[in-house]
Structure 1
Amino acid sequence: MDILEYYDLKEWWNTALTPAQREQISRDYQPMGYPSEERYLYAKLVGKSYGDTDKCCLLNVLACVAKDDAKGIIRDKTEQAVKEALSQPRRNYIDIHLALDGLIKYHYPLRNDQAHYEKAKELCLLQISISSKLVKKFRYPEKPKELKRLHKLTGMTHPYYDEPQILPSHTGYKQLAIILEKEGDLEGALELSQKALEQGWSDDYEKRITKLTAKLAKRQ
């Protein structure tokens, strides 16, 4: 069993993509630490585990590697995988969040096409809807089991795992606030920016809030 079979992607891989597209992606996708002479996507699952990475995360990375039309094909499959992951009782919210990040960044640059524009907004809202579940996970990353054992034995600590971390940027909040401001919905953009600031996401929300407040005051 290889990684594509493990995630039940083999049939889709062989039918949705052309031989040339599969060749390009499998050639260019080389995870760190993996022998460059072996095609990772076809490597047999022998003494390896893929359980720490969700299907949507794998597809998100493949979409980044893919070129031309294959990128859109894989992005569509990534969105499907994200929605499947959200329907499961146990969810890897970080992988879902990162996959949504990639989807938003794919659709928004194509915003001149109304379908892509609406899809970007939809995905922003979806990423925002799970944002509160990500705050603790990003602020206090889960320590690997091996490191937990070592620290228990030695009493050592690690600044990344044992101290609160700064939250990253949140594409959904940032992009949708920009969209709403451009559409003239200053109140909606302000509300989003205030919520993102309250949750602690990085980006210059104080400046955005000041600017939006001043715009609203002028309008009134």
Structure 2
Amino acid sequence: MDILDKYELKEWWNTALTPAQREQISRDYQPMGYPSGERYLYAKLVGKSYGDTGKCCLLDVLACVAKDDAKGIISDKTEQAVKEALSQPKRNYIDIHLALAGLIKYHYRLRNDQAHYEKAKEFCLLQISISSKLVKKFRHPEKPKELKRLHKLTGMTHPYYDEPQILPSHTGYKQLAIILEKEGDLDGALELSQKALEQGWSDDYEKRIAKLVTKIAKRK
């Protein structure tokens, strides 16, 4: 069983993409630490751990690697996977969050097409709607079982797992605030930026808030 089998993507992979597209993606997709020249997508899984990411994130990365029409095909599949993941009682929010960031960037790059512009906003709102569920997960990453056992035996600690971490950038908050500001909704952009700052996401929200407050005051 390879990773495509693991996430039940093999049939889709073989029917939705052409042989040339599959060749390009499998050749260019080389995760860090994997031997150069080997096709990771087709490698047999032997007790491998994939951490906090899953099917949604895998598809998002494949979309980034893909070229031309294949990028859109895989992005559509990523969107489908995200919606399926959100419908499940047990959800991998980190996997969903990361895939949504990729979808936002993909559609916003094509924003001259109104359909893509609206999709970008839709996915910003969706990512924002689950943001509160990600704060604890990013601040306090779950320690791998093997490391837990080692630290219990040795009394050692790890700065990444045993100390609160700084939250990363949040694509949905940042991009939607930019969109609203460009559309003239300064109050909406300000409210979003304040909420992002309150939750603790990175991105110099203090400067953005100060700029928006000044623009609102000038408008009045």
Classify the TM-score, shorter chain. Answer: over 0.9
Contact 1:173 1:196 in 2 (8 A): yes
Q: Please list the CA deviations of residues 99-148 of structure 1 after superposition, one character each: whole Å capped at 9, or x if unmatched.
A: 01111111111111101100000000000000000000101111111111
Distance in 2 of aligned mates of 1:10 and 1:197: 41
The sequence identity of aligned pairs, in percent, is 92
Evaluate the alpha carbon distance shift between residue 167 and residue 48 of structure 1 in structure 2; reply closer, same or farther with a 3 A threshold.
closer
Distance in 1 of aligned mates of 2:40 and 2:145: 25
Evaluate the alpha carbon distance shift between residue 122 and residue 24 of structure 1 in structure 2; reply closer, same or farther with a 3 A threshold.
same
> Pairwise CA RMSD of aligned residues?
1.4
Evaluate the alpha carbon distance shift between residue 153 and residue 111 of structure 1 in structure 2; reply closer, same or farther with a 3 A threshold.
same
1:31 Cα deviation (Å)?
2.0
Contact 2:104 2:124 in 1 (8 A): yes
Distance in 2 of aligned mates of 1:46 and 1:133: 31
Evaluate the alpha carbon distance shift between residue 216 and residue 57 of structure 1 in structure 2; reply closer, same or farther with a 3 A threshold.
same
Evaluate the alpha carbon distance shift between residue 205 and residue 61 of structure 1 in structure 2; reply closer, same or farther with a 3 A threshold.
same
Q: Structure 2: 5+ residue runs without aligned partners? A: none
Runs of 4+ in 1 over 4 A off after TM superposition: 46-52
- The aligned length equals 220
SS in 1 for 2:162: coil
Partner in structure 1 of residue 130 of structure 2: 130
Q: TM-score, normalised by structure 2?
A: 0.95
Q: Please list the CA deviations of residues 176-196 of structure 1 after superposition, one character each: whole Å capped at 9, or x if unmatched.
A: 000001101111101000000
1:48 Cα deviation (Å)?
4.2
SS in 1 for 2:179: helix
Q: TM-score, normalised by structure 1?
A: 0.95
1:9 Cα deviation (Å)?
1.0
1:43 Cα deviation (Å)?
2.1
